[in-house]
């Protein structure tokens, strides 16, 4: 006698695991998954920098600082990522994020606020970047629990490189009491 529920059961379809799927799963397990293209609130963080030369800036961040390009909409906009950081590059005066304000003021590169990129070996990183012509704003300085150096991107935006030292905490300790 056949099981009366057989007709309701879904057929079992053998699935061939894809390499990308396995890789994605592994990243999830190992916690090194980045915010994907569709990542919204709560995963990763997004920063917008203004740059005057889009292609030159994309090359700088990609070739010297290990960013990957996610979207390049030359000549006005690009989206890069490095780990959980998504970096938007906007050319001043372009529409959207680069557009002028109602009072006519136009965004510009520069200022002091900046991203801080963690590196494992600051001395080696600084030496390598200097040898490739990168301009530094400071030499290596020591802060509290970190050593750091400030460099310029081609448009004059600052980027802070830091190397954690003893006492450095990535996150807050669990609240006590």
Stretch that binds another protein, among 13-21, 58-66, 74-82, 124-132 (CB under 8 A): 74-82
45 binds another protein (CB under 8 A): yes
Parallel/antiparallel/unpaired status of strands 45-50 and 85-90: parallel
Instruction: Supply the minimum distance, in Å, between the C-beta of residue 10 and another protein.
Output: 28
Q: How far is the CB of 108 from another protein (least distance, A)?
A: 6
Sign of the torsion angle spanned by Cα atoms 109, 112, 118, 121: positive
What distance in Å separates the CA atoms of residue 119 and residue 114, rounded to the nearest whole number? 16
Tell me which stretch binds another protein (CB under 8 A): 2-10, 53-61, 69-77, 121-129: 69-77
By CB under 8 A, is residue 31 in contact with another protein?
A: yes
Tracing tokens 């990542």 back to the chain, one arrives at 39
Side-chain half-sphere CA neighbours of 70 within 13 A: 19
Half-sphere CA count of 67, side-chain side, radius 13 A = 24
Q: Which residues contact 142 (CB under 8 A, 6 or more apart)?
A: 148, 165
Shortest reach from residue 20's CB to another protein, in Å: 17
Q: How many residues bind another protein (CB under 8 A)?
A: 62
| Window 112 to 171, contacts with another protein (CB under 8 A) | 112-118, 137-139, 141-144, 146, 148, 157, 160, 162, 169-171
The Cα 96–Cα 78 span in angstroms is: 12
**The one among 3, 4, 41, 131 contacting another protein by CB under 8 A:** 41
Spell out the residues 6+ positions from residue 102 whose beta carbon is closer than 8 angstroms to its own: none
Nearest approach in angstroms of CB 157 to another protein is 6
Measured CA to CA in angstroms, residue 107 lies from 31, 81, 99, 159 at distances of 36, 22, 7, 18
Residues engaged in binding another protein (CB under 8 A): 31-32, 35, 37-50, 70-71, 73, 76-77, 79, 83-85, 88, 92, 95-97, 99, 101-102, 107-118, 137-139, 141-144, 146, 148, 157, 160, 162, 169-172
């Amino acid at each position: 006698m056949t099981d009366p529920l057989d007709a309701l059961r879904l057929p079992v379809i053998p699935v061939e695991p894809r390499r990308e799927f396995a890789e994605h799963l592994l990243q999830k397990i190992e916690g090194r998954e980045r915010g994907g293209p569709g990542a919204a609130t709560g995963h990763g963080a997004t920063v917008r920098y203004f740059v005057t030369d889009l292609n030159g800036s994309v090359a700088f961040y990609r070739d010297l600082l290990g960013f990957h390009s996610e979207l390049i909409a030359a000549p006005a906009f690009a989206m890069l990522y490095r780990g959980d950081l998504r970096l938007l590059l906007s050319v001043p005066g372009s529409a959207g994020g680069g557009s002028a304000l109602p009072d006519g003021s136009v965004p510009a590169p520069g200022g002091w606020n900046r991203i801080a990129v963690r590196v494992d070996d600051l001395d080696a990183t600084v030496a390598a970047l200097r040898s490739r012509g990168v301009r530094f704003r400071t030499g290596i300085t020591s802060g509290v629990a970190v050593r750091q150096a400030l460099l310029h991107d081609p448009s004059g935006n600052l980027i802070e490189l830091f190397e954690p030292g003893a006492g450095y905490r990535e996150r807050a300790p669990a609240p006590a009491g």
